[in-house]
Structure 1
Amino acid sequence: MHVYRRLLRYLSPYLLKLIVAGVCMIGVALATASLAYLVEPALDDIFLKKDLAMLIFIPLIVAVVYVVKGVCDFAQYYLMAYVGQSVIRDLREEMFTKLEQMSVGFFVRHSTGELLSRMNNDVSLVQGAMTSAITGIVRDAVTVIALICVVFYRDFTLALMAMVVFPLAVYPLLSFGKRLKRYSRRMLVSLEDITQRLNETITGIRIVKAFAMEDYERSRFREVNQTLFNAFMRRFKVRALSNPVMETLGGFGVCAIVFYGGYQVVNGISTQGTFFSFLAALFMLYEPIKRINEANSTIQEGISAGERIFALMDADPDVTDRSDAVELQTCTGEVVFDTVFFGYEDQMVLKGVSIRANPGEAIAIVGESGVGKSTLLDLIPRFYDVNSGAILVDGKDVRSLTQKSLREKIGVVTQQTILFDDTIRNNIAYGRPDLSLEKVVDAAKAAHAHDFIATLPNGYDTIIGENGIKLSGGERQRIAIARALLKNPPILILDEATSNLDSDSERAVQSALEELMRGRTTVVVAHRLSTIRNVDRIYVLMNGTVAEQGSHDELLSRDGEFARLYFLQFSLNENGEKNLEAAGLMPESKAGSK
């Protein structure tokens, strides 16, 4: 119950509304008990004694009771719904804030489907436990107490007989609750799997169709869908059993009570009004007890969901600001890797890497795929923290700086272009909606994106769809470059920034990038080695270390790892000389003779 108590703490800001709702619940309970109490005078005074005054008075009282009950029922339902939805809103916001605080490594370990499932499915179950369950238990518990008072007042002996059934109902109530909690946990895991499967299939639909894998994906979805179906059916089986068991136990008690109560009426020990008032209260008891049983089931499911939610919210970020972290106020752009070691779990990726980029310099990181080039870039804005060694910006260890102030000084254009389902203008001016259109257009022009934007139906107000799906790969990349241009950072990170562009677009964007790089410290990872001819220094990564460093021409002349990688891209074929000339490798005598 620790989890549920923790969930209940979210109710504290809405204490006044809860108190008012509680008073209204008591009103509903008392009104229900009053109706059971009025059965005796209705039968005895109206139908047996034929009292005309009571014939007018009792229906009037019943009408007033129903009006009071209706008003209280509406008020408590609305107030509890307001409180419940407020709690869920607060919980979702807190979860979202927590997710934003987590490092990139957290999102590598947890799938998108898992996180979406916890934000949606798990929170929905908690919502039921925080609204309908609380409302039901409080209201129905007061109703049960009030009706029990009526039952004992009308016939103490019969009431004792009825109460024998209550302890018998407690055991199945607890047993069903434990099973529901277990099955609910399995159901949530299955919901997580199906959310992940849907997300992967929809995101990768082009690959699915390109490989004609519809049948394969359908079979994989059918498998997780069947698992989810089985989990739901086990849960529904327990829910379906709980009420019949309660009802059957109650039925045995009613049989004994009808026999004994009828015997008392037949022998003149009790009146018909007293017995039917007792019986009405007893039957009215069944519904609130049944609802308490259902509320208990809902609470058990909510606890399962709450455990998963709090497991997420209690996770510690891999990257945090130190208590004495300072803001990076100004930045000249010096970036230094000082004997950096870094690895993922048991795999060491970087092994003592030392790299320097002086203010305003452009350096490039090259190497074979998987050697750790992109990982090295991720360490600069602290997407990850180094295992040992240090990364210095303007002589300050990045771990001594606040993440926000550090990242404000860094512009990033990655190989995987990330855009939002919004207008082109808002994507370029990301996070700054008040920025003038003129500045947005200037950035787009510098990134050679303005011309294609102008041809779109709504220009800069065109909605580009999820991750810019309505644009081509090259267009998406130029929007991302315009976004980085507008940020105007002293440090620029380009991770395969032109990888998705055709030759014409690449030349245009490369010119824009060269302009952007002027006067800024730039760290570049480039697959096409011909695009980094003009950087100040190139570092070649091999086996987690820096194998070579130097200028483009220096590294080519050494005939080492860089030269090997370079010549692999421009290997001779039937048009070998043409390729070499395009690569800038044609000897001067041959180039001049052509």
Structure 2
Amino acid sequence: MSLEKENTKSGDIIDTEVLKKLYRFVKPYQGRFYFLVFLTIALALLAPTRPYFIQVAIDNYVAVGDTPGLVRIIYLLVFLLVLQSVVQFAHTYLSGWIGQVIIKDIRIKLYRHLLRMRLKFFDNTPIGRLVTRNVSDIETLANVFSEGLAAIIGDLLQLATILAVMFWVDWRLTLVSLCTLPLLLISTYIFKEKIKVAFNDVRNAVANLNSFLQEHITGMNIVQIFNREQREYEKFQEINREHRKAHINSVMYYSIYFPVAEIIQAIGTGLVVWYGATRVFDMDMQVGVLISFIMYLQLFFRPIRMIADRYNTLQMGVVSSSRIFKLLESDDQIPNEGKWKPDSITGHIQFNGVWFAYNDEDWVLKNISFEVKPGETIALVGATGAGKSSIINLINRFYEINKGTITVDGKDIREFELGALRKHIGVVLQDVFLFSDTIYHNITLGNPDISRDQVMKAAKLVGAKKFIEKLPGGLDYNVMERGATLSVGQRQLISFVRAIVYDPEIIILDEATSSVDTETEEMIQKAIKKMMKGRTSIVIAHRLSTIQSADNIIVMDHGEIKESGTHDSLLELNGYYSRLHQMQLKSMVIG
């Protein structure tokens, strides 16, 4: 098993294009957003008020023994503390609320966008990466609002406000206070660069760990069948060691930076106390000013210590935003410009000179032309890779043809509204996918117009009713992930019920009985005949015995039609179909 590692780097926070795109999601909540900006400014203005009024209390009231005045200033300080606490609560709650509603909107838009993507997009994009975009990247984006942008703006405003007040109170003491600032700025810059690399390593390690686990848990049967448990365990240990190393590195940088920042702040505080004390002793400054400056320094250095961490949070948010918007702006979607929405169709299908390639001009289908009249059954046979399943994908417009036309009831399928086209086509695939939900939901797929009676009638038609009724809860039985609690044959029967219950005019069966035993196959074949009655049917089958009664059998090889006709007429040709038929007869005799 191969594992593609995902490596990402932090981006530039001043990415105006990303910020503009983010603002489009903020716009519906711009009233609350502007109120958040107001709260940010209010917090910055409130930050220096307590030290200032403590200075006033000491110098104007404590020093002269004015008890009534001191009581009044204490009341004022209590009021300011309560006000600041209320504003801080509102700011924290609102920033988190805005972040969550925005990522809810982005996640919904992203998922809706994915629902419209071509299957080719999913063929070329790892599932783990799409899950990361929808979950981890969007969660990181939420931090931009709760811990990144608003917090950084608030810290910068608080720094500016405190610095202005400090210069206003005593400019000489302010200059002494800032003596250690260059050291703090240098250490903060070094920390920012180191932690940015560490965060990138952590993010890449998490992505690689998630991808490995998803891939190997999904493919656990292969791991065990080929006795690879020990080897895969060793690979997991290696990836887990990288994950641990990345996290420990990030913890180490924090462990170094914050004590260093505390020491620098302590040195700055010591210089202030030393210089301020000499001026107090010389009667050049009041003691309240000195005490307030110690408090100012604590308020001033705290945002600087935090800003590096928040800067990296914002960087990661910008990177996540870029990834999300890149996915949202991808135009690898099936054009849905058709307007025709017929209530019913006759099921007349025509392929006219159809060419198709999944990649460039590596043709999978070459000049395919055939017709299926209403109510007819045609069968597609041929070796693996002959192009049979590609025909099914093209009829449903899961992929777009490169050349030629496909018509249903004389209308180019591109003229149909996409949902209306697929509504009239029922498909039963060889590999049945069931969601982790009830049997009823897996059959109806949440369609409220389909009743339980309809489901049970369809189940009775294909012989699924008996086993469904024996399950605990019947239709309400939870099949678990991918239908793990059901047998292959039972999952196949449910897929038949799912196709029939929508009552489509066109039925497509892609190796629909290849996964069931002979007894179940005979039962399903009877059900298929009833299901096909009055419907246009296209059947892909390796077992030629199941398609002998088809109105037309199309023999394909390397994307081309080699032969076509009824079972008897093809045997008379003594060509490809005849050889295939003889090979299957021999294998049955040997078996």
- Shorter-chain TM-score above 0.5: yes
2:552 aligns to what?
537
Greater mean alpha carbon deviation, residues 421-430 or residues 175-184? 175-184
Task: Write the mapping of 1:459-470 to structure 2, written as runs, cut at 5 A.
Answer: 459-470=474-485
Query: Structure 2 matches for 1:188-207, cutoff 5 A?
Result: 188-207=203-222
**Root mean square deviation, CA, Å:** 2.5
CA drift of 1:178 comes to 6.0
Quote the residue 2:103 is aligned against.
Answer: 88
Quick one: distance in 1 between partners of 2:24 and 2:193? 23
Name the CA shift for 1:513/1:144 in 2 (closer, same or farther; >3 Å). same
Provide the residue aligned with 1:431 in structure 2: 446
- Which residue of structure 2 lines up, in the alignment, with residue 504 of structure 1? 519
Contact 1:116 / 1:195 at 8 angstroms: preserved in 2? no
Correspondence 1:103 to 2:118? yes
Between stretches 380-389 and 253-262, larger displacement belongs to: 253-262
Partner of 1:62: 77
Rate the CA distance shift 1:423–1:165 in 2: closer, same or farther, 3 A.
Answer: same
Tell me whether 1:147 sits opposite 2:162 in the alignment: yes
SS of 1:290's partner is helix
Cα distance in 1 between the residues matched to 2:19 and 2:534: 57
1:280 aligns with 2:295: yes
1:260-305, Cα deviation, whole Å (9 max, x unpaired): 3333223221111112112211221112232333221110111122
Instruction: List runs of 5+ in structure 2 lacking aligned partners.
Output: 1-14
1:423–1:462 CA contact under 8 A, matched in 2: yes
Q: Give 1:334's aligned residue.
A: 348
Tell me the amino acid that sits aligned with residue 503 of structure 2: N
% identical aligned pairs: 34
Aligned to 1:589: none
Measure how far apart 1:233 and its partner are.
Answer: 4.7
CA shift for structure 1 position 172? 6.2
For residues 378 and 184 of structure 1, what CA distance do their matches in structure 2 show? 43
Q: Structure 1: 5+ residue runs without aligned partners?
A: 580-594
Change (3 A) 1:219 1:65: same
What aligned pairs does 1:180-191 form with structure 2 within 5 A after superposition? Answer: 184-185=199-200, 187-191=202-206
Once the two structures are overlaid, the 10-residue window that deviates more, 219-228 or 382-391, is 219-228
1:23 partnered with 2:38: yes
Q: Aligned pair in 2 of structure 1 residues 336, 257: CA closer, same or farther (>3 Å)?
A: same
Alignment of 1:386-465 (within 5 A): 386-465=401-480
Q: CA deviation at 1:541?
A: 1.0
Q: Distance in 1 between matches of 2:207 and 2:352?
A: 42
Structure-1 residue corresponding to 2:10: none
Q: CA 1:129–1:428 in 2, change beyond 3 Å: closer, same or farther?
A: same
1:258-277 alignment, distance < 5 Å: 258-277=273-292
SS at 2:586's partner residue? Answer: coil
Q: Contact 2:348–2:374 at 8 Å: present in 1 too?
A: yes
Counterpart of 1:374 in structure 2 is 389
- Offset at 1:95? 1.0
Which region of structure 1 is more displaced relative to structure 2, 61-70 or 40-49?
Answer: 40-49
Report Cα offsets for 1:535-583 as digits up to 9, x if no partner: 111111112200111111211222211122222222168x56xx7xxxx
Q: Which amino acid aligns with 2:206?
A: L
Which deviates further from its counterpart, 15-24 or 369-378? 15-24
- Taking structure 1 as reference, are residues 142 and 403 closer, same or farther at Cα in structure 2, changes over 3 Å only? same
Which residue identity lines up with residue 192 of structure 1 in the other structure? A
Deviation at 1:325, TM superposition (A): 4.8
Partner-residue secondary structure (3-state), 1:338: strand
Residues 187 and 9 (structure 1 numbering): CA distance in 2 closer, same or farther, change over 3 Å? farther
Distance in 2, matches of 1:212 and 1:126, equals: 41
Report the Cα offset of residue 99 of structure 1: 0.8
Q: Decide which of 476, 487, 499 is 1:472's aligned counterpart.
A: 487
1:344 aligns with 2:349: no
1:270-309 equivalence runs, <5 A:
270-309=285-324
CA distance in 2, matches of 1:232, 1:480: 46
Corresponding residue for residue 91 of structure 2:
76
Taking the aligned partners of 1:567 and 1:304, their CA distance within structure 2 comes to 60
Task: After TM superposition, give the deviation of residue 208 of structure 1 in Å.
Answer: 2.6
- One-letter amino acid matched to 2:162: L
Deviation at 1:505, TM superposition (A): 1.0
For residues 410-456 of structure 1, give each alpha carbon's deviation from its aligned partner in whole angstroms, at most 9, with x where no partner exists. 11111110111111112112231353211111111112110001111
Q: Structure 2 vs 1, CA of residues 358 and 31 (structure 1 numbering), >3 Å: closer, same or farther?
A: same
Q: Which moved more, 1:395-404 or 1:420-429?
A: 395-404
Q: Which amino acid aligns with 1:96?
A: Y
Between the aligned partners of 2:77 and 2:286, the Cα distance in structure 1 is 22
Name the SS for the 1:570 alignment partner: helix
CA contact (8 A) 2:429 2:509 kept: yes
Which segment drifts farther, 433-442 or 106-115? 433-442
Distance change (3 Å), C-alpha of 1:410 and 1:241: farther
Q: Provide Cα deviations, 1:173-212, integer angstroms capped at 9, x if missing partner.
A: 5666566556655544443333232222222223333333
Which moves more between the two structures, 137-146 or 466-475? 137-146
List aligned pairs for 1:557-568, cutoff 5 A: 557-568=572-583
TM-score by length of 2: 0.90
- After superposition, the Cα gap between the structure-2 partners of 1:38 and 1:183, relative to the gap in structure 1 and judged at 3 Å, is same
Look up the match of 1:112: 127
Change (3 A) 1:270 1:309: same
Q: Decide which moves more: 94-103 or 193-202.
A: 193-202
Corresponding residue for residue 587 of structure 1? none
Shift of 1:526: 0.9
Question: Quick one: which amino acid aligns to residue 345 of structure 2?
Answer: C
Tell me if structure 1 keeps the 8 A contact 2:364–2:387. yes
Contact 1:420/1:467 (CA < 8 Å) preserved in 2? yes
1:528–1:425 CA distance, 2 compared to 1 (3 A): same
Contact 1:150 1:278 in 2 (8 A): no
Taking a change above 3 Å as real, the CA distance of residues 15 and 495 of structure 1, as seen in their structure-2 partners, is: same
Deviations 1:200-243 (A, max 9, x none): 22222233333332222222323333344444455555666655
Give 1:501 deviation, angstroms: 1.1
Q: Is residue 360 from structure 1 mapped to residue 375 from structure 2 by the alignment?
A: yes
State the shift of 1:34 in Å. Answer: 1.4
CA-to-aligned-CA distance 1:444-495 (integer Å, 9 cap, x gap): 1112110001111111111111121111111111111101001111111111
Letter in 2 for 1:383: F
SS at match of 1:540: strand
Conserved 8 A contact 1:165-1:249: yes
Q: Any idea what SS the aligned residue of 1:38 has?
A: helix
1:114-129 alignment, distance < 5 Å: 114-129=129-144
Are the aligned partners of 2:375 and 2:537 in contact in 1 as well (CA < 8 Å)?
yes
Asked if the contact 1:321/1:402 (under 8 Å) is kept, the reply is: yes
Paired with 2:204 and 2:518, the residues of 1 have a C-alpha distance of: 47
User: TM-score if structure 1 supplies the norm length?
Assistant: 0.90
Quote the residue 1:225 is aligned against: 240
Counterpart secondary structure, 2:47: helix
For the residues of structure 1 that align with 2:461 and 2:153, how far apart are their CA atoms?
64
Q: How far 1:334 sits from its partner (Å)? A: 1.4
Q: Deviations over 1:100-150 (max 9, x none)?
A: 111101111011111111211111211111222234224333332332232
Amino acid at match of 1:367: G
**Shift of the alpha carbon at 1:97?**
0.8
Q: Give the direction of change, closer, same or farther, for the CA distance of 1:434–1:241 in structure 2 (3 Å limit).
A: farther
1:521-536 maps to which residues of 2 (within 5 A)?
Answer: 521-536=536-551
Partner residue of 1:313 out of 321, 328, 341: 328
